[in-house]
Structures are given as C-alpha cells and as structure tokens.
C-alpha cells in the first residue's frame, strides 16, 4: 500500500491532470483536494484505480463546467478581464474562488441557503417580486403596477387588513380594475358595471343579474372571478408571485398558491421587525423605503448597480470626484455564481466612495441574488451599512427600483474615525431625513445614471429592435463592449449569469424595446415615475403649495402696507404745501420709516415663494446633464457630505441615534443577521473569510517575494 501511495503522486503530477483542473476554478479545487486525499490516505488499491477515479472526476468536472454556471468564469474569460502583469494576483484570485466553495452560503438568508446547492433551473415566473411599498401608496385607491409585461392592480382589503394583487382586467368585459374603487366593505369595484370582488378574486356582487338566484349561480362559475395572485406584506413591501393560472394554464390556483407558500422571498434579515420610527433589530436604524419607476430595463439597472467603478464618475460631487477618485481594484469572489443564488464579490481594495485612496479601513461587497435583489454591504470596525436594492422587471425598457439602507453601529471608539468617511456621512444623513425629503432628493442621484442608461441599452439593442428586448442580451453586450480591466469583472459575471438564465419572459405582445426618448419633459418626469402614487411626496407637495400661496398672500399684505405708507406721505405733502409742490420726490421724502421694513419683508416673502415654487417643481420634474454643473449635487459637496472629513452635523446625528449611553451590545439581533458578531462562520471582523485568507496570503507573499510590486492595503 505504501508503494502505491508513493507512486501515484508523481504519476498524477507528471500527467498534468492534477494541475489542469485548477484552471477550472470553483469545483476543480475540491476535485484536486479529493484526489490528493485519495493519494495521501492510501485508499486506492492500485494506480490504475486511482487514475480511473481521477479521469472520471475530471470528466464530470468538464461536463459541469460546460453545463452549469457554478464554475463562474472560464479561464479565457477570466484572463480577459484580469489586469495584465500580475500573475501572482491571478493565482491568488483562483485560490480565493476555491476557498469560497467552503463558504458558498455567505450573504444568503437562512431560508434561501438551499438555493446555492439546488440543481433546478432558474424560473423567472416562480419567484416573489416586491411590487410596491405599503406605506407609500393610498389604501383607499387601487394602484396599477406591471410585472414581466403583465398589468396588475394592487389594492387594500380594509375588512381583512390585507393587500391583494389581481391581474388588471375585470372578467366581465376586461375593463381595467385599476380604474375602479376600493369599497368600505373590503371589496374592489369595477367602475364599468359595478361588479365587486373580494380578496380572493371571487365575485361578490353582480348588479345585472335578473334575480338573487341567478346571481348566486353565476358567481359560482370560476369565469366570474378576477385573477388573483399570491400576495404577502413583508418588511414594509407588498410582494407578488410571478405566476398565475392565466400565465400557466397547466396549473390550478391552489397549486400556484402552494408553490408560492413554499418558496421564500429574498428578504433582508437585518430589516425584519423595523418599527415606523425606523428602529431595527440590534439597535440598528433603517431609513425610509424609496420606490421609483425608471426608463431603462432590468439588465441595464443591474449592470450599472453592480459596477463600483462608475460611482465616483457618474455621481460626481455626490459621492466623489470624477477627476481624483477613480482607481483600480480587484473583484474577489466570495460566493461563486449559481443559477438560483447569483454571486457575491468583494472589492480589493474598496476604493472611493467606500474609502479614501490609500486609507482602506472599510470593506465593501456586492451580492446579486436573482431575480431582483442586490445588496451592497459596507463594513467598518465601528459601523456597517447594508443597502438593499430591489429591481423589478416591469416592462421592456422599464424597471421599478425599491431601496432602503440599514445601519448597524458598534460601540463608540475613541476618535470615532468612521465619522470621517463620506460613505458613513451620506448614508447617516438619510436615516434622519423625512420620507419626502429622501424621495425628492432621489433624482439627484438616479438621474445621473438614467441619462446614460436609458440610451445605452437602446444602443446595444439597436440592430435587434425587432427581437425580444432581452433575447441574447448577454451575447450582444459581450460582442460590442471593450473590457480591458478587472474593474468590470462583476458586470461580466452578471451578463454571464444572464446569458444562461435569460431572457426575461415578457408577456407576448408587450415584448418590444421602446425607442430612445428625446423629449426631456418625459424622460425626467418625476411625477409619473414617483410622485403621483407616493402619499409622502403628494402630501409634501400639497403643503409646499400651501406655503407658496401663504407667502404670496403675505407679500400682498405688505404691498398694501407700502401703498398705505405712500398714501400717508402723499397726504402729508398735500396738506403741508397746499398742493403747490406735489411731486414724487417730495412724497418719497415724507414716507414713514417703517416702509423700509415693509419693503424688506415684501422681498423676503417673494423670494420665499419663488424658492418654494422651485422646490415644488422637483416633485414634477428634475432635468440633468453631465455637461453642466448641477446646483443640487454641488450643494451636497459644499456641506461636506460628499467629502471625507469631520462634520458637526454628522457628529450630532450619530450621537442622537446611537450615542448618549445606549447599550448597543445588549440589543438582540434578528435571525440570519450577517453582522460580524452574529455570522462568525463567514466573517473575521469586517472581512469575509475569503478576503481574510486573501490578505494573509498576500502578506505572506510579500515577505517571501522581495522586490516585486504588491498592491498596498
């Protein structure tokens, strides 16, 4: 047996098969380890058996490599996106992926961890999607939404205190139910013929029936029912199932409900149980949900959101400086790509806006989980910000963006260095802002991307406008772009995932990409994209109108006061001079002194009315161009939120939320929390285990390899 052990090692190495699987990354690492374990433990009876085992495992590996996305990057593509001249970093990257196989569930909700290992194909329609934010829409009205090209209506059943989602058509004559009324008895009334439906879609009233008996007979017919979809309210969002009996006639409504109940939604553990005041488990805080319809597609959104390199350029002055902050970085795979669980990558180092160049004490990871979730996880020794972006594919060329951020603060340390970080300051500012303020300032950030992405996806699809808008999108993107650096690695990984799991199954007849919108009044129409359905913003807009009118009214009063002063001066001049020397100059010389105070107040209130009216316009439209300086973005930079450094305002807010003797350690965290304290399996401090191993290997390599350029941390 010992002879067998001593002979198989050289044979494996000499054959090249031990080394070759390493280039397949992911699974190959485990294959090599398993083969070496066979050799070391002497389990094989002879060399032939070992070689047979090795060949079988290698063949299996190659089959999986061709047929599955778990081997997230092939060797050629990997090298294509890696920066040249850093062979050792390339090898470290491959080892990172191999190590990541032991921690593939990092970032996954406990109820969704099984998705990492499932072999089932990804199915777009068998998923939960957040279609609305519960506290943003009016409970007394129905609301039209879209999902995968299908029109839906969201409404609230006041009797059972539940939200419901129907397909937006009455079974009678297909009139849109979103134009109907929500009645006090907990039914949805069609405004065409007054048919009523309960939360399950059953028809409860049919006025056109000849008698009660006929009405009851007709209501028992399933054709009289509205098409209801499985719906739930979780974490402040209204979730809708992607499938119904009308989109899949082979399944009954009961079967669809059962499948939906057994499928976990992509929820955020840290946001479970958040109160109306924003207090989250573990003494954390969450800001208000934002929701907005964007005039570019699902692919364009994720391509952009998963790209850290664009932030300081596209969002100049808001999160960084386009001239000083762009920098190179490596993308380290923390969870390799799978069909149903997506992938997770960390930045090495986390360049601006997450840190200042040369001062990398914060870590940042991007976690894509299909079909709609992207988590941006920023960690510092003193704080953690988790931003959760949901992108819902509504219709071709459009998506619905829903986002919120939760802050987990550790015990205050001497100096509170985290307060100097721009990422900390920008996110902390949103925690204390009212909902309408967060929403109205949203376009200052989103429109900086929108003006680019709205056109970019149409340019990519220009030669294929007659096809389904997502058909072969990954291939078309790959064939037209130029990707010379590793900074685009996550975008490459995303499109590789989409090449296998796309296209989006749009509803037939609603699957054509729209043309580029050249009318700025439509492209930047914030009323249609957000304000018209947001109760917070409509209320703030209404109050702003009241203030504008009140300011104008007070201005009119001061005009009246000024006229009275002038009239008084005219009377004085007339009585004192007998009307002989009655001139404007004489009148002005005799006006009372309080007229100057009235003039100052008049212009102050007029300026207030003008400023409020300009602010009110933000609820309707916000135009943006990268070729011009933007006053809103520049203002953010001027008050110091977009720059690293101290801020008295941030010091005050941080103390109000987390300071003044609060015992943050005693607060109970939610199940599945991924903070460094709760998730010790996947994290060593602020770094994931994969990142920590990478840093240790790099430090060891620095000690062993002198006079070689090494990336500084």
Of 581, 600, 620, the one marking the end of a domain is: 620
In a domain, 706, yes or no: no
CATH of the domain at 136: 2.102.10.10
pLDDT at residue 331 is higher than 90: yes
Of 597, 620, 643, the one marking the end of a domain is: 620
The residues pairing with 647 across neighbouring beta strands, listed in sequence order, are none
Per the prediction, the chain carries an average pLDDT of: 82
Measured between alpha carbons, how far is 171 from 168 in angstroms, rounded to an integer? Answer: 10
Regarding whether 151 and 99 lie in a shared domain, the answer is no
In a domain, 352, yes or no: no
In a domain, 448, yes or no: no
Residue pair 280/273 in contact (Cβ under 8 Å)? The answer is yes
Regarding whether 146 and 245 lie in a shared domain, the answer is yes
pLDDT at residue 515 is higher than 70: yes
Of 232, 261, 290, the one marking the end of a domain is: 261
Regarding whether 16 and 137 lie in a shared domain, the answer is no
Regarding whether 182 and 71 lie in a shared domain, the answer is no
pLDDT digit string, tens, across residues 74-90: 334 333 333 333 443 44
pLDDT at residue 71 is higher than 70: no
pLDDT at residue 15 is higher than 60: no
pLDDT level of residue 501 (50, 70, 90 thresholds): very high
The residues pairing with 229 across neighbouring beta strands, listed in sequence order, are 165
Pairing of strands 188-189, 196-197: antiparallel
Q: What is the pLDDT of residue 510?
A: 81
CA-based radius of gyration for the chain: 31
In a domain, 220, yes or no: yes
CB crowding 424-439: b at 16 or more within 10 Å, else e: bbbbbbbbbeebbbbb
Residue pair 400/392 in contact (Cβ under 8 Å)? The answer is yes
DSSP element (H, E) containing 393: strand 383-395
DSSP element (H, E) containing 81: helix 75-81
Q: What is the pLDDT of residue 132?
A: 98
Regarding whether 149 and 98 lie in a shared domain, the answer is no
Regarding whether 162 and 71 lie in a shared domain, the answer is no
pLDDT digit string, tens, across residues 85-141: 344 344 444 444 444 444 479 999 999 999 998 889 999 999 999 999 999 999 999
Pairing of strands 687-688, 683-684: antiparallel
The burial class, CB within 10 Å (0-12 / 13-18 / 19+), for 578 is exposed
Regarding whether 98 and 37 lie in a shared domain, the answer is yes
Measured between alpha carbons, how far is 72 from 341 in angstroms, rounded to an integer? Answer: 12
**Total domain count for the chain?**
3
pLDDT level of residue 49 (50, 70, 90 thresholds): very low
Q: What is the pLDDT of residue 575?
A: 78
Q: In what order do the strands lie in the sheet with 237-241?
A: 128-133, 237-241, 231-234
Regarding whether 243 and 169 lie in a shared domain, the answer is yes
If one compares 304 and 249, the residue with the highest pLDDT of the two is 304
Residue pair 135/439 in contact (Cβ under 8 Å)? The answer is no
Residue pair 390/614 in contact (Cβ under 8 Å)? The answer is no
Regarding whether 95 and 133 lie in a shared domain, the answer is no
Regarding whether 167 and 84 lie in a shared domain, the answer is no
SS3 label, residue 482:
coil
In a domain, 209, yes or no: yes
Chain centroid, CA 709 distance in Å:
37
pLDDT at residue 169 is higher than 60: yes
Domain containing 85: what range? 2-103
Regarding whether 201 and 158 lie in a shared domain, the answer is yes
pLDDT level of residue 639 (50, 70, 90 thresholds): low
Instruction: Tell me what the mean pLDDT of segment 234-248 comes to.
Output: 92
Q: Which of 498, 458, 457, 493 minimizes the C-alpha distance to 475?
A: 498
Measured between alpha carbons, how far is 432 from 652 in angstroms, rounded to an integer? Answer: 11
pLDDT digit string, tens, across residues 438-448: 999 888 889 99
Instruction: Tell me what the mean pLDDT of segment 336-361 comes to.
Output: 93
In a domain, 588, yes or no: yes
Regarding whether 164 and 212 lie in a shared domain, the answer is yes
Q: Which of 399, 400, 391, 334 minimizes the C-alpha distance to 367?
A: 334
pLDDT over 70, % of the chain: 79
pLDDT level of residue 67 (50, 70, 90 thresholds): very low
Q: What is the pLDDT of residue 474?
A: 74
In a domain, 230, yes or no: yes
Q: What is the pLDDT of residue 255?
A: 93
Instruction: Tell me what the mean pLDDT of segment 346-359 comes to.
Output: 92
- 478-487, 542-551, 636-645: range with lowest mean pLDDT: 636-645
Residue pair 318/429 in contact (Cβ under 8 Å)? The answer is no
Q: What is the pLDDT of residue 48?
A: 45
pLDDT digit string, tens, across residues 565-620: 888 888 887 777 545 577 778 778 888 888 889 999 999 999 999 999 999 999 99
pLDDT at residue 420 is higher than 80: yes
Q: What is the pLDDT of residue 692?
A: 92
Q: Which of 3, 30, 32, 9 minimizes the C-alpha distance to 19?
A: 32
In a domain, 217, yes or no: yes
CA distances from 529 to 406, 454, 487 (A): 25, 14, 32
């Amino acid at each position: 047996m010992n002879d067998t052990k001593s002979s198989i090692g050289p044979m494996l190495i000499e054959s090249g098969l031990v080394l070759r699987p390493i280039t397949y990354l992911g699974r190959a690492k485990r294959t090599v380890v398993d083969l070496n374990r066979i050799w070391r433990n002497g389990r094989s009876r002879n060399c032939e058996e070992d070689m047979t085992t090795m060949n079988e495992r290698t063949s299996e590996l190659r089959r999986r490599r061709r047929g599955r996305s778990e081997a997230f990057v092939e060797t050629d593509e990997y090298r294509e996106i890696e920066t040249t001249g850093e062979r050792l970093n390339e090898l470290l990257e491959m080892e990172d992926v191999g190590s990541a196989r032991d921690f593939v569930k990092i970032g996954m909700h406990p109820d969704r961890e099984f998705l990492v290992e499932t072999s089932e194909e990804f199915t777009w329609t068998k998923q939960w999607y957040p279609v609305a934010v519960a506290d943003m829409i009016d409970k007394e009205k129905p609301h039209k939404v879209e999902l995968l090209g299908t029109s839906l209506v969201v409404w609230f059943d006041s009797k059972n205190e539940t939200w419901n989602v129907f397909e937006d058509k009455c079974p009678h004559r297909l009139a849109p139910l979103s134009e109907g009324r929500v009645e006090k008895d907990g039914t949805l009334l069609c405004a065409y013929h007054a048919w009523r439906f309960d939360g399950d879609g059953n028809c409860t009233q049919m006025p056109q029936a000849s008698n009660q008996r006929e009405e009851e007979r007709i209501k028992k017919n399933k054709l009289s029912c509205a098409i209801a979809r499985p719906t739930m309210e979780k974490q402040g969002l209204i979730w809708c199932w992607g499938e119904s009996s009308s989109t899949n006639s082979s399944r009954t409504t009961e079967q669809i409900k059962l499948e939906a109940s057994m499928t976990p939604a992509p929820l955020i553990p840290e946001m479970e149980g958040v109160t109306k005041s924003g207090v989250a488990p573990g003494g954390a805080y969450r800001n208000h949900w934002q929701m907005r319809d964007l005039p570019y597609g699902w692919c364009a959104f994720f391509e952009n959101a998963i790209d850290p390199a664009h932030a300081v350029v596209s969002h100049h002055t808001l999160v960084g400086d386009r001239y000083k902050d762009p920098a190179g970085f490596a993308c380290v795979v923390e969870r390799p790509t799978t069909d149903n669980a997506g992938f997770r990558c960390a930045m090495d180092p986390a360049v601006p806006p997450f840190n200042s160049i040369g001062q990398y004490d914060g870590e940042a990871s991007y976690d894509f989980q299909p079909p709609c979730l992207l988590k941006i996880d920023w960690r510092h020794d003193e704080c953690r910000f988790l931003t959760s972006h949901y992108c819902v594919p509504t219709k071709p060329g459009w998506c619905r963006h829903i986002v919120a951020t939760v802050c987990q603060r550790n015990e205050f340390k001497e100096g509170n260095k985290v307060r100097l970080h721009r990422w900390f300051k920008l996110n902390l500012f949103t925690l204390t802002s009212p909902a309408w303020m967060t929403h109205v300032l949203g376009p200052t950030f989103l429109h900086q991307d929108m003006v680019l992405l709205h056109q970019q996806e149409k340019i990519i699809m220009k030669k294929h406008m007659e096809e389904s808008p997502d058909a072969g999108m990954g291939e078309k993107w790959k064939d037209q772009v130029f990707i010379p650096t590793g900074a685009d690695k996550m975008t490459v990984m995303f499109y590789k995932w989409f090449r296998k799991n796309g296209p989006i199954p749009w509803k037939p007849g609603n699957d054509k990409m729209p043309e580029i919108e050249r009318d700025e009044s439509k492209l930047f129409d914030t009323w249609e994209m957000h304000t018209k359905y947001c109760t917070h913003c409509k209320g703030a807009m209404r109050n702003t109108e009241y203030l504008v009118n009140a300011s104008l009214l007070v201005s009119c009063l001061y005009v009246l006061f000024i006229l009275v002063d002038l009239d008084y001066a005219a009377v004085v001049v007339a009585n004192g001079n007998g009307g002989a020397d009655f001139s404007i100059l004489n009148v002005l010389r005799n006006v009372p002194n309080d007229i100057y105070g009235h003039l100052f107040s008049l212009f102050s209130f007029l300026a207030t009315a003008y400023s409020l009216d300009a602010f009110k316009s933000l609820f309707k439209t916000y135009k943006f161009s990268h070729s011009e300086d933007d006053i809103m973005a520049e203002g953010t930079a001027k008050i110091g939120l977009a720059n690293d450094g101290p801020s008295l305002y941030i010091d005050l807010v941080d103390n109000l939320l987390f300071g003044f003797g609060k015992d943050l350690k005693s607060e109970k965290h939610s199940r599945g929390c991924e903070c460094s304290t709760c998730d010790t399996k996947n994290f060593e401090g602020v770094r994931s285990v994969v990142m920590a191993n990478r840093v240790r290997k790099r430090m060891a390599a620095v000690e062993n390899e002198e006079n070689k350029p090494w990336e500084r941390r």
